[in-house]
Amino acid sequence: MAGNSFDVIVVGGGPGGYVAAIRAAQLGLKTAVVEREHLGGICLNWGCIPTKALLRSAEIYHLMQHASDFGLKADNISFDIEAIVKRSRDVSGRLTGGVAMLLKKNKVTVIDGEAKLEKGTAAPVVVVGKDKYTSKHVILATGARARTVPAIGLEPDGDKIWTYREAMVPKDMPKSLLVIGSGAIGIEFASFYNTMGADVTVVEMMDRVLPVEDEEISKFAAKSFKKQGLKLMVSSQVEKLEKTAKTVKVHVKDAKGKVSIVEVEKVILAIGIVGNVENLGLEALGVKMDRGHVVNDGFGQTNVKGLYAIGDVAGPPWLAHKASHEGIVCVEKIAGQKVHAFDKSNIPGCTYCHPQVASVGLTEAKAKEAGHKVKVGRFPFVGNGKAIALGDDQGLVKTVFDAKTGELLGAHMIGAEVTELIQGYVVGRQLETTEAELMHTVFPHPTLSEMMHESVLDAYGRALHI
């Protein structure tokens, strides 16, 4: 039927899928999105956005507790966890409705239901319930979910053992909890619950927290987290979970083989994610996979004609902004535009804990491993007037340059609002900026961004304020 025929069908309405669909429609392609649950995907409903709403509540609670530092008085500070969660869900709901309006505005057809793929002519046929839809191009944007390890009890039970979903909507504030994994998801939840008064322990298999970040930033973060009361168990792994009537006994083995038991009310699993590839018919189509994710080229194309994959289902980095841009590159290639293959090296990473962490490009260690002779610049928040005025003067901006060419290889930051500041370096890398352009750029005063300038100057022995 003509009504069931499209130029592009996107399976999944998350930040990769809905953005790809809108861009396809803008380019004149008849487009449909199949979504089984909520438009906006995990990001808008159970990830990026609602967690930031929770963290904002924690940030304000923290500031209120330290009102006297700013010459203010705030007595008997308390919180209502039910109201905090409600605000978070309301923020999510508002944005989800906005996605629906955007799709309607761009004349994208939304098909409710769960999709399966069958062999087709130009591209796989998309089956939703009893209906079949054909198109020239099918884009998989099915996302991912929390990784579990049922063999040792690492799977959610809706009560004592949580993934990000359960951790986002607590009915009561636990007195104690243990977070398994210290990537962005784990550390953000650890930061939220610690700020709200819970006794929090973090277990990490690697030898440092936030292990994908520059080592210097990780060490700075660990020092700050410990000062706030977080307990960090690095080079450690969970052997098993033992549930009691009211608690969970977590058996943790350290690098020396010693096993200790940490007893907590709740456990949060943050040990990574796995792509949503099941029950789609991918095996029958012969789709190439790698460790639970669909393999694609730099334009989203899989090894199957007319089938593409973008976002979390296509592998790391598992970030909403990566998914969106990957979707745009994919669709513009489909439309015949001249586009560059998707470059993952310029994707910024942000962790919204306290203090915030942000980075782009190579760490100092990775730059050296790649054969670069480097120049490294640093500037501490304590030397910045705006940071001192904010009452948030603990942090660091670090830049890594190629000593021969002046190329900005990477930038790494920890401190107030660095998740906003990092974009300056991202633009610099995208424009293939060298140290010379950055040095001659005028940064406004007084701002936190001045530290970005000073870090560049420091790499070349020209720092002015330290």
Q: What are φ and ψ of residue 22, in 5° steps? A: -65, -45
Give the C-alpha separation, 417 to 395, whole Å.
Answer: 10
Beta strands in 244-288 (DSSP E): 248-253, 259-264, 266-269, 273-275
Catalytic residue among 293, 445, 453, 465: 445
Q: Mention every residue, 6+ apart, whose C-beta is less than 8 A from residue 245.
A: none
Contacts made by residues 222-230, CB under 8 angstroms, sequence distance 24+: 224/354, 224/355, 224/394, 224/414, 225/187, 225/190, 225/191, 225/353, 228/194, 228/195, 228/354, 229/194, 229/199, 229/200, 230/190, 230/191, 230/194, 230/200, 230/201, 230/202
Kindly give the pairing relationship between strand 266-269 and strand 161-162.
parallel
Distance CA 411, CA 418 (A): 11
Tokens matching residue 321: 């902004």
Q: Which amino acid, one-letter code, is at 303?
A: N
| 445 belongs to the catalytic site | yes
Q: Cα separations (Å) of 369 from 128, 362, 409, 434?
A: 48, 10, 12, 21
Please tell me the distance from the alpha carbon of residue 8 to that of residue 30, in angstroms, as a whole number: 6
SS3 of residue 266 by DSSP: strand
Q: Are 429 and 346 in contact (CB under 8 A)?
A: yes
Cβ contacts of residue 382 below 8 Å, gap of 6+?
388, 393, 394
b/e map of 414-438 (b: 16 or more CB within 10 Å)? bbbbbbebbebbbebbeeebbbeeb
And the tokens for 148?
């579990």
Q: Are 337 and 388 in contact (CB under 8 A)?
A: no
Using DSSP's 3-state secondary structure scheme, residue 189 falls into: helix
Which active-site residues does the annotation give? 445
